[in-house]
Amino acid sequence: MDGQQTSDAIAEWNTRGVLVLPKFYADAEIDKVLADYRALWNDGRARVTVDDMDIDRRMKLRDVSADARASHRFKVNDLYLEQPSVRRLALNDRLVPLLQRLLGERPAVCNSLSLEYGTEQEDHVDSLFMTPRTPAHLVAVWVALEDCSPESGLLRYWPGSHRIEPYVFSNGQRHFIPEELGAWQGWMRTQVQRHGLRSELFQARKGDVFVWNAQLLHGGSAIAERGRTRRSVVFHYFSESDCRAMGHRLVRESDGFWIRRSHQPIPGSVNARMRNRAGKIARRMRDLFARS
């Protein structure tokens, strides 16, 4: 983007909390990602972690039954760790400079979510669950891998909701407490009404990119026609400084970074218990950093 386009984009970002970049990716770039995704499922031995959205269960892709593969909706986690084609969507010479302007420093991919179907997810705010060490140092990108029909369960969002003052939980933090999410939802409904906000739906075309502020209220609308796909991939980015403060291993790519780490653990596994202990230690370190 030239100087004026960049200024206009930043103004839209500040006002609405979103940016829409039509046909940002060429069909060939998208088709490579789709081909790699199909090959992953056809091989069936992948170590990646998937979430079965129909039964609310996490497992390794290699453990998914043939019946479930044919009929269930899955969220495939962190293909950026495995597939260069996915990393090229997340980090490239066109997207990274824009993300750097929005974050104020170089971006680092911290996760990716690959989907064939709409999520029908309740409205939420990303920073509740992926709370950045520094406020505003988290941004999300949604890439359409096909033309999306209204029946597929389109992305729903509330422009301007990123300017609502972040909710503070009973421990004084902005990271969610599961037992208090009901209170958060009630508070957000009140704030949305108070600010006179209205939701919008994003009917994307193949190659479109949707960038949103991590404080933006958004979710998935209902799927009106079962079996109708809405193929997409989502990326979340922390800032470089937050990642380094947390001790993440960063790999440089296209003047940005991606976090090298293990795949998501399966709840109840030894790996999950070890990750949980490590997470507690990391949170204590984060608190120490915050107070210093």
Together in a domain, 145 and 114:
yes
In 10 A of CB 97, how many CB atoms?
A: 16
Q: 157: part of which helix (H) or strand (E)? A: strand 155-157
- Point out the residues of the chain with pLDDT beneath 50: 270-274, 278, 281-282, 284-292
Supply the pLDDT for residue 4: 77
Give CA separation, 100 vs 112, 215, 243, 265, in Å: 18, 17, 15, 30
Please tell me whether residues 54 and 109 are part of one structural domain.
yes
The CATH number of whichever domain residue 63 belongs to comes to: 2.60.120.620
Residue 264 per-residue DSSP state: P
- Per-residue pLDDT at 1: 65
Provide the residue range defining the domain that includes 27.
Answer: 3-261
Give the model confidence (pLDDT) of 54-68 as tens digits. 999 999 999 999 999
Residue 292: per-residue pLDDT:
38
Looking at the 3D structure of the chain, how many domains does it have? 2
Same domain, 225 and 183: yes
User: Among 272, 275, 235, 248, which Cα is nearest to 60's?
Assistant: 272
Q: pTM to 2 decimals?
A: 0.90
- The answer to whether 289 and 245 are in contact (CB under 8 A) is yes
Residues 242, 289: one domain? no
Q: What mean pLDDT value characterizes the chain? A: 91
* Model pLDDT, residue 277: 52
CA distance 288 to 69: 44
Q: Are 206 and 29 in contact (CB under 8 A)?
A: no
* Whether 126 and 60 share a structural domain: yes
How confident is the model at residue 273, as a pLDDT? 44
Check whether residue 245 and residue 286 sit in a common domain: no
Tell me if 235 sits within 8 A of 138, measured CB to CB: no
Q: Please indicate, yes or no, whether residues 148 and 280 belong to a single structural domain of this protein.
A: no
Dump pLDDT digits (tens) for 208-221: 999 999 999 999 99
Domain check: are 88 and 144 in the same one? yes
Same domain, 109 and 234: yes
Q: Are residues 199 and 254 in the same domain?
A: yes
- Same domain for 214 and 286, yes or no, is no
**Secondary structure E strands in the chain:** 18-21, 49-52, 57-60, 74-77, 107-115, 138-144, 155-157, 200-202, 209-213, 218-220, 232-239, 249-253, 256-260
Asked if 36 and 139 sit in the same domain, the reply is: yes
